[in-house]
Structure 1
Amino acid sequence: MSTDSTLPDRLNNWMKHSVTLKLISIAVLILILLIPTSMVKDIIYERETLSQDAIQEVSSKWANSQTIKGPILTIPITYYSTIKNEDGSFTEISRNLNILPDDLQVNGQIDPESLKRGIYEIVVYKSKMNVNGSFSLNPKFDKTNLKQIHWDQAFLTLGISDLRGIKDNINLTWGDKKLRAEPGSKIMDVISSGVTIDLPEIDQDKQQNINFNFALNLQGSENLSFIPIGNTTEIKLTSSWTDPSFNGNFLPNDRLIDKNGFSADWKILQLNRNFPQSWINNKYSSTLDQSAFGVDLMLPLDDYQKSMRSAKYAIMTIALTFLIFFLVEVLNGEKIHAFQYTLVGLSLCLFYVLLISISEHSNFNLAYIISAIAVIGMISLYSISVFKSRKITLLLSAVLCGVYGFLFVTLQLADFALLLGSVGLALILGATMYFTRNINWYAINSKKLNEATS
């Protein structure tokens, strides 16, 4: 065959056989495949948003997360103004003296339930709590220009963030008296949502401690929190939920989590928080909420989070698969068209769509295995006709199994995901460098061009 060729012919041969151009083309194709990968992430985000909407809808009907604040004893007081009126009298100013209990103990049992809204699962709970403690009626406060303490108007307020969760009437034992709670809060600037209990004449008890207790049957969703308002606050919770997450300003002093559920004990002192035992009006209302603590009854690592984390490894999966195809093309002389690369890349992207759709109806691990088998099987069968070699096809299948197996282990070990990911990528890069160390890329490129022009 003549060696004479025109410039267009030589350019065409170079484009067909240039290893460098092939590498650039594969790199560009990988970047283009990040577009469908990004669309997959949008699908995962959209499905997660629908799940959150389902949770909010169920919570709005059952009851939202609950925060218990109180009880707080409030006594109206009257001061004289420091400025005289024209007639020589002083204006009277009304204030609320808020007093916190000397000690507060809560013993609670949380019974979780799983509700369904369509294909989505929502965790709710019913709780039974026994609350007891004591108040000292000799508080420290500013008595300058004090006119009167209205002991006969004293009342208790118990803050409950979502009143729809109250399942039984709240009956308070105050000393030896039985009192009943009424809806609403009289101190909205301190407790915006709660119940109020009007107290009888307590002036005669102001030199002693008064004990109180009441039962609280409350239901809510996902979270139960408390405000440590006692001089000493002790909370004891037990539940059959096996995957709690303790949050807020204080962690339990003691906890036990096993296959039967969990138990947790908190003990919080006045010195551990940033507000006193008594104050006037709403001086410390914002500080109260900042000291909240409690427990989340959450489902284990969310399937959508796992799917999103797996999608972040898409570029690694695509690159490794294309690397096998490229090495087969270079070393075995098998021509692989860009369209074939594209089909394989789209198959790898399809894995994540299968994963998210199947996991919504079954266990995530099972969904992962089914999706991996489907994609590996599809690519392996297709590569038989591309490679025309069962041995190389088996090698590709083994690499894909290794990649998806590595990714599966990484997803299960969330705390070590970064470590495993970085070590795995380092090993993959090292192995690639080792197996291609003796390849003379210039010689391969020259040989292909010579064969094409000979």
Structure 2
Amino acid sequence: MSSLTAKLLTIGCISLLLLAPLSAIRGLNGERQAYRAQALNDIAAGTAAAQQIVGPVLVLPCTKRPLPAAEGGAAPQTAADAGKSCTRYILPETLEVESELAHEARSRGIYRATLFTARITAKGRFQLEPAEASGPGYQTEWGRPYLALGVKDPRGIVGLPRLTWDGDNTAFEADTRLPAIGAGLHAKLDDVGGGSHAFAVEITVKSLEGIGFVPVGKATTVAMHSSWPHPSFSGRYSPEKREVGAEGFSAWLSTSYFASNIQQAFERCAANPAAAQEILANSLAVSLIDPVNVYLQTERAMKYGFLFVLITFAYLLCTEAVSGKAMHPVQYGLIGMALAMFFLLLLSLAEHLGFFNAYLLASAACLGQVCFYVAGLLQNRRLSAGFAAVLASLYGVLYVLLSSEDYSLLLGSSFLFVLLSLVMAVTRRVDWYRLKPSAKPTAT
């Protein structure tokens, strides 16, 4: 076996051994991320998780009772026939939702979360047909109507919600009394006759994650505004128009019940309460994400850890070939451990200083440590400066890849191509059998 083959095998084994500390650091990052998730859950337990607003929906309770035989009715066949529910669910003809989202920081130990407060105004009108009093063989008994408003996590309700119905203020009470839309509120109304009825709801809710709206109106518009510059839209609908910038975002949605089939969903839910998820799935949601999650960024950085070590070792091997100086495997191992230590420093510093500051300090510390060690090994200023430049470039390129998530593949592949081209250009005259430069060809 040639000395070069033995050297390559030894470096390969050292590289594989370095997978152990890299994997351990990656596991530690996962543990710290789990601790953060638990801290956020603890904060959410005292506030509110993601919110979803459904409604308002006008409910007209009614029961059909058979008339006595003397009055042309028929005896009920079963107990259920004696009082059959015919409750009607009336959706708004028009619904306009305006939401302003403010934010504040909450902390649990070293972990921080952003709590959002949504000030919501929903207004519109209902169009009612005259209520039927009776029919052939039965009589309709109408109960007291009420307005139901679904709020996924009522713990997040701030203050007293307000309802204005036909110009009069009406108080809300707990529970929607409507399984189709889940938890929330309801407001009892006086007898409502046919015609148009205007309403306006004002409610403020807190959320640790985001908020969603179900467009229950026959014609619904939703407008959201916030000073938070990092929204993430999800759900069955996307905003028709959005403006996102450093000062915040605005988003607008306009849809109709032809697109949502929300009326049919309510009718199916009346017959089968298990179909409630079909209603809740019709939503426009926005999550106000934290783009500086240091654990996710550290995780992305560590995906390049093994490649980082291999490129450094390859450069050192090329340096040996060019300079004629041989490095011991122990020295490769120490340099590899120093490179792995960078990721541990990055993780520990990022929890306190933020990712950018942590990356700057960790890379500067490891760059100084490794370059000081390699300079003592090579005893050559030019080669030592070249190694320092290459290692600094690696740290710089890695940060660019982490910052440019959408173009990381393109930038990474381009960098590797350029790096390979440089290695091939520098070592094209190296006699790899002797691991030293070959003589320059003489002119003929």
TM-score normalized by the length of structure 2: 0.89
Which residue is equivalent to 2:413?
422
**Residue 127 of structure 1: how far off its partner (Å):** 2.3
Q: Distance in 2 between matches of 1:87 and 1:265?
A: 51
1:93 paired with 2:84, answer yes
Q: Distance in 1 between matches of 2:25 and 2:292?
A: 20
User: Closer, same or farther in 2 for the Cα pair 1:146/1:344, shift >3 Å?
Assistant: farther
1:28 paired with 2:18, answer no
Which residue is equivalent to 1:406?
397
Within-5 A mapping of 1:343-358: 343-358=334-349
Within-5 A mapping of 1:35-46: 35-46=20-31
**Of 276, 279, 296, the match for 2:267:** 279
For residue 196 of structure 1, what is the amino acid of its counterpart? H
Q: Distance in 1 between matches of 2:80 and 2:206?
A: 53
Consecutive aligned runs of 4 or more in structure 1 exceeding 6 Å deviation: 86-89, 143-146
Which residue is equivalent to 2:42?
57
**Residue 64 of structure 1: how far off its partner (Å):** 1.5
User: Closer, same or farther in 2 for the Cα pair 1:241/1:73, shift >3 Å?
Assistant: same
Which residue is equivalent to 1:169?
160
Which residue is equivalent to 1:201?
191
1:223 paired with 2:213, answer no
Structure 1 counterpart SS, 2:267: strand
Give deviations 1:144-187, integer Å, cap 9, x for gaps. 98945543332221100111111122232222433211111212
> Could you tell me whether the CA contact under 8 Å between 2:231 and 2:289 is conserved in 1?
yes
Structure 2 counterpart SS, 1:339: helix
Structure 2 counterpart SS, 1:442: coil
Which residue is equivalent to 2:239?
252
Q: Distance in 2 between matches of 1:87 and 1:403?
A: 80
Give deviations 1:198-245, integer Å, cap 9, x for gaps. 22112xx22x12111121122221201100111111112222212222
> Could you tell me whether the CA contact under 8 Å between 1:29 and 1:342 is conserved in 2?
yes
What 5-or-longer segments of structure 1 have no aligned partner? 1-13, 448-454
Q: Distance in 2 between matches of 1:218 and 1:440?
A: 72
> Root-mean-square deviation (CA), in Å?
2.7
Which residue is equivalent to 2:361?
370
Structure 2 counterpart SS, 1:153: coil
Q: Distance in 1 between matches of 2:263 and 2:350?
A: 50
Structure 2 counterpart SS, 1:410: helix
> Could you tell me whether the CA contact under 8 Å between 1:242 and 1:260 is conserved in 2?
yes
Which residue is equivalent to 1:126?
117
TM-score normalized by the length of structure 1: 0.87
**Of 138, 143, 148, the match for 1:157:** 148
Q: How many residues align?
A: 425
Q: Distance in 2 between matches of 1:193 and 1:56?
A: 20
Q: Distance in 1 between matches of 2:17 and 2:131?
A: 71
What 5-or-longer segments of structure 2 have no aligned partner? 67-73, 439-444
For residue 240 of structure 2, what is the amino acid of its counterpart? N
Which residue is equivalent to 1:299?
290
Which residue is equivalent to 1:6?
none
Give deviations 1:32-69, integer Å, cap 9, x for gaps. 11121111111111111111111111122122221101
> Could you tell me whether the CA contact under 8 Å between 1:79 and 1:146 is conserved in 2?
no
Which residue is equivalent to 1:336?
327
> Could you tell me whether the CA contact under 8 Å between 1:80 and 1:145 is conserved in 2?
no
Structure 2 counterpart SS, 1:126: strand
User: Closer, same or farther in 2 for the Cα pair 1:333/1:268, shift >3 Å?
Assistant: same
> Could you tell me whether the CA contact under 8 Å between 1:240 and 1:262 is conserved in 2?
yes
Moved more, 244-253 or 355-364: 244-253
Q: Distance in 1 between matches of 2:119 and 2:91?
A: 23
Q: Distance in 2 between matches of 1:237 and 1:87?
A: 51
**Of 137, 142, 145, the match for 2:128:** 137
